[in-house]
Structure 1
Amino acid sequence: MKVSIFDVARKSGLSVVTVSRVLNNSPSVREKNRQRVLNAMKELDYHPNAAARSLARGKTRIVGLIATTLQDSFLDEVMREITTALESHGYFLALSVSADKQDKNHYLIQEERVDGLILLSPIHEAEYVYELNKRNLPFVLVDNQTNIPSTSSVIVENDKGGYDATKYLLELGHTKIAHIRGPHLFRSANEREKGFLRALREAGLEPFAVEQGEFSINEGYRIARKWLDEDRLPTAIFAGDDYLATGVINALLEAGIRVPEQVSVIGYDDQFLAQELRPLLTTVRQPAQQIAHHTVDIILKLIQGTLQDSVTVKLRPELIIRDSTQRLKP
């Protein structure tokens, strides 16, 4: 026999009205009652007709997410955490990977296909923001590149990440420290360099070098290879992400330079490969779970109308010390 909302009410010991409010994600339901209903639904294997509920309320129960790439294990983790968090609230995620970085007419924005939208690491987001505001569609920017007034966002304090990585290398006795940064269009790359320079300035030092490249293994390899060909190497390198760090290590090891005995290397993001490299990569971890939690919390409040003003959440990264760094030997 098909399980109904009445069965869920009996199982949970609550009224049908309360169960209905939980299914519709009403903010008026007490958390303990919401958990009782969700537990009863799980035990009974009850799956409400999402389409019918959406039509009744004029909502789709779908949140869209637009990303520019899937080739990034950090962003992949953020998306997985967002999906899980949305599902716990009875929402579904519609994912789109858009090659067009300024696609303000993206299909998820058109014809009220979603109740809200998450823009993950958007490029030139002002075009999106204008269109979304015009359509009065709730949205959240995650890891956005510019500060846009009256816009909700979730960002990481990349300045602190760059500072902590460099400060750690200084504490290990390094003074000839180089930085390979990402492209200027990324605010995260600019802030990581800013933190790097601040730590050196406090120590009364100048950078050994600052090079720019795309966030890729090939770019890290190319830049390290250039230093090798010039016969000038730093004793420590802070790379703007783990892919750049991987390319650096590949070039150094290929040339017979030992990591970390001769050159220490730090990456950024704590990508999946950071724990697969040999030596294991010291890196700066971005808090994917916290990013997802705050993003979902904001977008649902915007959808439900319980958040009237824009909010910006700033999260702290964490230095993860592994095997690719060590104290400088005299």
Structure 2
Amino acid sequence: MRRRPSMVDVAAAAGVSHQTVSRVLNTPDAVRPATRERVEAAIAQLGYRPNTSARALVTRRTRLIGVVNPGLAKFGPANTTMAIEEAARQAGYATTVAVVRDARLATVEAAVESLHELGVEGVVFVAPVTQVAPAAVELSSRLPVVMVAAGLQDTSSLHVVAVDQQAGARMATRHLIDLGHRDIVHVAGPNDWFDARTRIVGWRDEMLAAGLDPPPIIAGGWDPEQGYEIARTLIRERRLPSAIFAANDPMALGMLRAFHESGVRVPDDVSLVGFDDVEGAGFFEPPLTTVRQPFAAVGERSIEVLLAALDGAPASRTLIAPELVVRASCRAVG
């Protein structure tokens, strides 16, 4: 196999010392422009790639970012993690992921310690569940931390980046109110998820702002099976409301199946709104009105904030607006 070109090879091709090549790579402003251009041309010609481990020894920068992920194959956490990895790579950083499959403090702390031992420069927590917050706060005393979590109250030591879940829930609820609905039930996600809690707040606030009395929430989850059983219960107990705001699209899909089996027509008998705009939501029957989350923007902003934190920026909070996607699962009443 052909040997990978080294820094010595670049130095020979450019007619400079290997120390000069190192300066071009690590402190380019300290090298005269003509020399720097010659070295850069040699790098391009040879296809040289720096040894990141050796570079870290010189610069004391690993260019490595840790990502704590809950290990859930759920739409939000999975897409957020992918967006963070892509944004980090575009910024010239690598990522290493620590999967935390349960939210016990000891488990999270062990994952965080493993990242710390690898020499990560900072950590992004994809933290949908509330139990992860204490470990993030503790780590922030040692490393810059960005937490992707809507609804986190105390952000004095953390950088927070999140989709504005409350605003998204208000959009969904306002859409139904504008169509004339007054009996709008919210089927909520798990209570230990930040996103689920914040969507409840948004639905309730929008109902109250319209002068409507919010009915009791229905405890749900994130899965189609839960939506299916909730819809069957509403039909069986003759408690079908005018409209339903489901905490996510998979639950809405389960409801659509139950309604179809029972002869309940959507949107003629009940209007339905979801949240997330999962792939294929526009091909449900009927196509689902939902709230789209800008995961790419969350990933990009998370990395921007983390890099700023590496330079000493103070704790911050960034909420990114979602988008209401109107389709055929809702209709006007009255």
Question: Which category describes the TM-score, using the shorter chain as reference length?
Answer: 0.7 to 0.9
Q: After TM superposition, list the pairs within 5 Å mapping 1:173-322 onto structure 2.
A: 173-303=180-310, 306-322=311-327
Cα drift, residue 285 of structure 1: 1.2
Structure 1 stretch displaced more, 138-147 or 229-238: 138-147
The code of the aligned residue for 1:307 comes to G
Distance 1:76 1:18, change over 3 A: farther
**So what's the TM-score if we normalise by structure 1?**
0.83
Instruction: Choose from 90, 107, 124 the match for 1:118.
Output: 124
CA RMSD of aligned residues (A): 3.1
Contact 1:121 1:144 (8 Å CA) reproduced: no
Instruction: Choose from 73, 98, 101 the match for 1:99.
Output: 101
Which structure has the greater CA radius of gyration? 2
* Aligned-partner Cα distance in 1 for 2:329–2:43: 48
Contact 2:69 2:81 (8 Å CA) reproduced: no
Q: Which residue of 2 aligns with 1:147?
A: 153
Cα drift, residue 96 of structure 1: 2.5
Contact 1:216 1:244 (8 Å CA) reproduced: yes
Cα drift, residue 146 of structure 1: 2.7
Contact 1:108 1:114 (8 Å CA) reproduced: no
Q: Which residue of 1 aligns with 2:66?
A: 64
* Aligned-partner Cα distance in 2 for 1:22–1:93: 23
Cα drift, residue 180 of structure 1: 0.6
Contact 2:273 2:330 (8 Å CA) reproduced: yes
* Aligned-partner Cα distance in 1 for 2:95–2:164: 27
Gaps of 5+ in 1: 29-36
* Aligned-partner Cα distance in 2 for 1:94–1:120: 13
Percent same amino acid among aligned pairs?
32
Cα drift, residue 86 of structure 1: 1.1
Gaps of 5+ in 2: 15-19, 31-38
The code of the aligned residue for 2:293 comes to Q
SS in 2 for 1:118: strand
* Aligned-partner Cα distance in 2 for 1:317–1:39: 44
* Aligned-partner Cα distance in 1 for 2:231–2:273: 14
Distance 1:53 1:177, change over 3 A: same
Distance 1:16 1:222, change over 3 A: same
Cα drift, residue 111 of structure 1: 1.9
SS in 2 for 1:258: coil
Q: Which residue of 1 aligns with 2:35?
A: none
The code of the aligned residue for 1:296 comes to I
* Aligned-partner Cα distance in 2 for 1:313–1:19: 35
The code of the aligned residue for 1:280 comes to P
Q: Which residue of 1 aligns with 2:77?
A: 75
